[in-house]
Structure 1
Amino acid sequence: MKNILIVDDHLQITEVLKEYVLKEGFYPIVASDGQAALTAFFTHSIELILLDVMLPKIDGFGVCKKIRETSNVPIIMVTAKGEDYHRIMGLDIGADDYIVKPFSPSEVMARIRAILRRIERTEENQHTMKQLVYDNLIVYLEEKRVTISQHEILLTKRELELLWLLLANREKVFSRDNLLDSLWGIDYFGDARTVDTHIKRLRAKLDEADHPNWEIATVWGQGYKFEGKNEK
């Protein structure tokens, strides 16, 4: 049974989400503050984290940053209505998705199912191709890691999937809607700005090492593509 970590300091919210998680066949693990969330994460095998931003002791951003130091586990941030800067910050520090309060438990479960299905599809695809290579870039699908000139780049699962999709279809232009459908799924509730944020974050991480012969290029008015210098 897959463990879902629910992190929120409101007992009523966690009790409702626990019931829905159990009905879906998952096992809920609950933490009411940031420190307890980290303890639970490093104690149990966690498949996905539903993480509120406003938490006692350590806020959701601090929890997300700490987890991203060692893990690419999917994280859905929960933000207050109208606080876009929370959403953007969450995505910038490594969250895979976000949901806004107030929310319906059914919507939360739809998000969780979509992310876990996507992960399963990616793992199935890995059996047919172990790695992708271009110039000094290597994407190791089975190990879920990326190197540039042997320098390891730590990516989230979503960032790794985004890079893999672009690299596997080199020179093909993907619109924001294409990327949303391919990686987030047709039942995703967010908007195209999510793609822009993930592209920005992916580029920043790839830029940790020199790669003069390729880039994640913006095709104005169309979308994004993996572009090789010798293929322009």
Structure 2
Amino acid sequence: MPRTILVVDDDPHIRQLLVFALAKAGLGAIEAADGEAALALVEVQQPDLIILDINMPRMDGLEVCRRVRADSQVPILFLSSRDDEIDRVIGIELGADDYVVKPFSPREVVARVMAILRRVAAPAPPQPAAATIAQGLLRLDMDGWRANWADVEVPLTVTEFSILRLLAAMPAKVFGRDAIIDRLHGPGFAVTDRTIDSHIRNLRAKFANVGGTDLIETRAGIGYALGPCRGEQPVA
């Protein structure tokens, strides 16, 4: 069955453009003209990915993202008419997986959608071969896309899990931001360093809440590596 993409934008022309481009790529699409309609469709239709405009009347895309993330980790790609870094960072911190600025090329949006969907379907890294990666108190379930710290599950977005899986599969390696981008999206994919930093900051914050204060190390001038993952046992 084709993947279903929810397109949320108050501009009918943009919705029509994206639905057509997604259909050409073999993807199914459903539409919502506002945030309330989008939330209803997420609950009923359970789409595989959401393309979400930030600047909508009544309920903007940031609020929609907050409500979706309360009980779902469905991938979210934000659309915005502004290229302000603050919007980009806030969107990522709320749990978005990617961000495209208007005006955009429908081909670029579809490429980013396909990249996110490939990450969801991607097999586990070749090392280790087991379906679970265990490093200290960290456990990653490759098949279930679940992350646990000392038996406490930590909800992650697709991109957050993909980054952590990359670091945990090769704990002795330090990854530069460009290397992380290439592993997630492929060479030449336009993602800013600040976006990767935001995802890393989200990972650290989520695991710190359950005692994982040493999840990811920063190697100055080089990049990121998995930490010792000893942390602290969560308080009962």
Task: Judge same fold: TM > 0.5, yes or no.
Answer: yes
Match of 2:6 in 1: 5
Deviation string 1:86-129 (CA, Å, 9 cap, x unpaired) is 11100000000000011111111111122222222246979943
CA drift of 1:184 comes to 2.5
Match of 2:31 in 1: 30
1:45-194 aligned within 5 A:
45-122=46-123, 128-194=129-195
Contact 2:17/2:106 (<8 A) preserved: yes
Partners of 1:222 and 1:123 in 2: how far apart?
A: 25
Partners of 1:193 and 1:71 in 2: how far apart?
A: 25
CA drift of 1:211 comes to 3.4
Match of 1:220 in 2: 220
CA drift of 1:8 comes to 0.1
Residues 122, 64 of structure 1: CA spacing in aligned structure 2 closer, same or farther, 3 A cutoff?
farther
Partners of 1:149 and 1:197 in 2: how far apart?
A: 24
Match of 2:233 in 1: none
Q: Aligned to 2:83, what secondary structure does the other structure show? A: coil
Q: Aligned to 2:122, what secondary structure does the other structure show? A: helix
Aligned residue pair count:
229
Residues 123, 33 of structure 1: CA spacing in aligned structure 2 closer, same or farther, 3 A cutoff?
farther
Gaps of 5+ in 2: 231-236
Match of 1:44 in 2: 45
Gaps of 5+ in 1: none
Partners of 1:14 and 1:190 in 2: how far apart?
A: 24
Partners of 1:147 and 1:28 in 2: how far apart?
A: 33
Taking only the aligned residue pairs, the percentage that are identical comes to 37
Contact 1:215/1:227 (<8 A) preserved: yes
Partners of 1:123 and 1:44 in 2: how far apart?
A: 28
